[in-house]
Amino acid sequence: MKKCIVGGCVVMHNGRMLMLKHRKLGVWLYPGGHLEQNETPIDTALRETAEETGLKVRIVDVSKGNKILSDGFAKETPTPLAVMLERVPYKNRMHLHFDLVYLAVPKNSSRVKIMKQEAEGFRWLTRRELSRIKTYENVRKVGMRAFDHAKAF
């Protein structure tokens, strides 16, 4: 089984969540992808979101605490919305993903330009629409968590 570290973003804007119709898997997912050499999960989440949607986003730290762990040798990073170990059924074989999913908002514009080889389309979904689309249950739950956190900003 292939093991991967994955970074992704649940992008929220005006009370809606951005979802992409994944071309290979045939389900709706938030943007994200595999960690590349010399990247952090945050780097991956930002890069994949920009590549797949054309959006530059800002990560929203979901923790309520202050960053007391940072010092001269360590820097505490934004807390992800979700951290999961997930089995992903690709066509040829199962992948085991260690997912770090961040909450994000568009920096300047919410105008989406999808990468056609990755996605068949995109939608800005309400909470109610998220409950009805074809996706994995864990993706739906992460999205619902994002809606809960988005009330605070």
What single letter denotes the amino acid at residue 8?
A: G
Task: Look up residue 109 and give its amino acid.
Answer: S
Tens digits of per-residue pLDDT, 74-108?
878 889 999 999 887 777 888 899 999 999 999 98
List Cβ neighbours of 4 (8 Å cut-off, separation of 6 or more): 34, 35, 95, 96, 97, 98
Q: How many residues does the chain have?
A: 153
pLDDT band for 152, please (50, 70, 90 cuts).
low
Assign 49 a pLDDT band (cuts: 50, 70, 90). very high
Q: What is the 3-state secondary structure (H, E, C) of 40-79?
A: CHHHHHHHHHHHHHCCCEEEECCCCCCCCCCCCCCCCCCC
- Cα distance between residue 86 and residue 82, in whole Å: 12
pTM attached to this predicted model: 0.90
Q: How far apart are CA 152 and CA 135, in angstroms?
A: 26
Tell me how far apart the alpha carbons of residues 80 and 70 are, in angstroms, rounded to a whole number: 17
Q: How far apart are CA 19 and CA 12, in angstroms?
A: 10
Q: What is the pLDDT of residue 17?
A: 97
Judge whether residue 65 has pLDDT over 70.
no
pLDDT 10s digits, 2-37: 899 999 999 999 999 999 998 888 899 999 999 999
Higher-confidence residue of 50 and 118: namely: 50
What are the chain's domains?
A: 2-150 (3.90.79.10)
